[in-house]
Chains A and B, each alone.
Chain A
């Protein structure tokens, strides 16, 4: 707590080197500069140039600034390429191995995320919303509610890990900052859609997979397996089917732009997992274990009647057709997710076809 200066006492000046004097006589002398910082650079004379897309992050990877080591042995906020300052205390940046977070596409995805922002308040043609039959409106609102929870989970797991990611791989930190911003925007757009057309928010889901994602505290890679390989691949199918079933331009805009954003997230996730598997011994085995657990959880969540029936009604155009055509379409959606998932696992070098959990395998017939 600052002490109160007794009246009439000398008031210390804000600037070091000032002679103590009466307050009204204080003279601000210019302290002698040291200039000891001048000439201290790892690499000088750099002149990166913009291209037809502007000056993008990837263009900065020249010389020493582009050397991305396999291990970043620095627990400070030192920018990659800057000189260290001896004696700087460490901070808990625990993710310091490249295979723990890297994706080659991170810089480009960051630029795309920055450049392709959309504004739900003004870009979505809200005036095109028209009243829908009650069952369909409720179903759309329920799907919006579900997807908001997905986005919340994505925000929470990314932000949990973000401040543990070291500065050596700043491209990933920057990209993930845009990813969480995307998720906030999705929550905004989904909430607005749910409250703009005579409906309201629906039921909270049991959140089995949400909890699995949030409890994946072993490492960021482990979280990515659940967040993007399992949940994210399914979410993309949901979004695509919502787009094809859109009832108006507003919904088309929302689903289309969410797909665009989500595609970036998945690209990072898949690319990172590929990097982890190919650069770290044992990563594939860990993924196999995680997926054995995760598939069972995913299968359990897919059994939940709420999302299933909401999607069936949307895709069938009503309750009656939802029981037949709509449900068939939804089962085909889930079958598509499982097929995509298996193909991705093959690509990653973690094949699952022979080990796929029965609760997911059943959807392959659709």
Chain B
């Protein structure tokens, strides 16, 4: 790993500080639910236990990246604390999974998948690629859980639409999405994507591509769960956000 220019190293370290902070939300919160899930559903419990370990490993790798190349940890984001609709505050497993897997991790997965665009060396590319591989499993669980509910519990459709309403409010505007409009990590991403502060504008254009991809993949996932009607009957404004994000 070769030294990076200061602005690039700061941007990368901010991103790593963010991920070191938020990744274990996806460890702590599923852990809480595992403790309340009967061992009869061992397959679901085991998937979540794998997720907890994956997130521990993500905490590990992002902290290491922040401290390995002449940088350090920066200011925390506070992105996951105390707001209505946060993952911590879910009172139902499906509510938690929708917020965590479909919305939160879905957005992060889309970003990790585009890690080639903002990674600066082979170590970082591999880091984002492997994180994407893990995250894809977590998101897949969430998608398949909703798909199952849609088929087996159709009386819960309106309830789940309500969870998706809340989750969609956070996708771009919330601070949990590192590429979102309100997150300072989006500035860091634009720096990385543009090759430095001098290329910020160019980097911002690429950031918009990431946002667009996050929205598109979110819609694809929700459609695959059987709840895509929300994009056709006007309930969701994600299609409008997607159309405008260019």
Q: Give A residues with C-beta under 8 Å from B.
A: 1-5, 11-16, 18, 23, 26, 28, 30-31, 33-49, 55, 57, 60, 62, 65, 76-79, 81-85, 87-91, 110, 114, 152, 155-160, 162-163, 167, 170, 173-174, 177-178, 180-181, 183-184, 187-188, 191
B200 at the interface (CB under 8 A from A): yes
Contacts known (A90-B81, A155-B34); A5 close to B200, Cβ less than 8 A: no
Against A, the Cβ 8 Å flags (1 = close, 0 = not) of B26-40 are 011101101100010
Against A, the Cβ 8 Å flags (1 = close, 0 = not) of B190-224 are 10000001001100110010010001000000000
Q: Is the interface of B mostly helix, strand, loop or mixed?
A: helix
- Count of B residues near A, CB < 8 Å? 79
Number of A-B contacts (CB under 8 A): 230
Binds A, one of B7-15, B98-106, B110-118, B139-147: B7-15
Q: Give B residues with C-beta under 8 Å from A.
A: 7, 10, 13-14, 17, 20-22, 24-25, 27-29, 31-32, 34-35, 39, 42, 45-46, 49-50, 52-53, 55-57, 59-60, 63-64, 67-78, 80-83, 88, 162, 165, 168, 172, 181-182, 184, 187-188, 190, 197, 200-201, 204-205, 208, 211, 215, 233-237, 240-246
User: B59's contact among A31, A156, A170, A184, by CB below 8 Å, is which?
Assistant: A170
A24, chain B: closest CB distance, angstroms: 10
14 contacts between A and B (CB under 8 A): A1-B162, A2-B168, A2-B234, A12-B240, A13-B244, A39-B10, A42-B73, A78-B76, A82-B73, A83-B73, A155-B49, A158-B31, A159-B32, A173-B24
Cα(A178)–Cα(B60), bound, Å: 12
CB-CB under 8 A from B71, the residues of chain A are: 41, 44-46
B41, chain A: closest CB distance, angstroms: 12
CB-CB under 8 A from B46, the residues of chain A are: 184, 187-188
A-B pairs, 7 with minimum CB distance: A89-B82, A4-B234, A177-B56, A88-B78, A163-B28, A181-B53, A159-B31
